[in-house]
Amino acid sequence: MPPHITEGKIIFRSWDNATGLSECESAFYSLDELFALCLRIHNPNLVDRVILRGLDDQGEARVLTLAFQSLKLGGEA
C-alpha cells in the first residue's frame, strides 16, 4: 500500500490585546480542503501549524507537523 494521508488539521493563532493569544483548529481530509481553509483566513488569524496523519508504505501510523513562524511588521506595539 502506498503512503497516504488519512486526516489533518490546521491550527490558527490570533492575538487580541484584550484576551491575548488564542488558538483554534479546523480539520481537513484532502489537500483541496487544506487549500480552501488557507484561502479563507482572515485577520487576525495566522497559520501556526499543519498536522498530517497517515500511514506509511508498511501500514504504520505516521504524523508530520509543519510549523510556521509569523511576523507582523508595523502596526501598534
Residues 18-36: pLDDT tens digits? 888 899 999 999 889 999 9
Residue 76 forms part of a structural domain: no
Span 36-50, mean pLDDT?
Answer: 84
Residue 63 forms part of a structural domain: yes
Q: Over the stretch 1-12, which tens digit does the pLDDT of each residue have?
A: 899 999 999 999
CA atoms within 13 A on the CB side of 29: 0
Write out the residue range of the structural domain in which residue 24 sits.
4-67
Residue 59 forms part of a structural domain: yes
Who wins on pLDDT, 2 or 75? 2
Question: Percent of the chain having pLDDT more than 90?
Answer: 51
Mapped onto helix, strand or coil, the DSSP state of residue 5 is strand
Model confidence at 70: pLDDT above 90: no
pLDDT score, position 76? 53
Taking the C-alpha atoms of residue 27 and residue 19, their distance in angstroms, rounded to an integer, is 24
Task: Look at residues 27, 21, 25 and name the one whose alpha carbon lies nearest to residue 11.
Answer: 25
Residue 73 forms part of a structural domain: no
The domain total for the chain is: 1
Residue 36: which H helix or E strand, with range?
Answer: helix 31-39
Taking the C-alpha atoms of residue 10 and residue 41, their distance in angstroms, rounded to an integer, is 11
Q: Please tell me the pTM assigned to this model.
A: 0.77
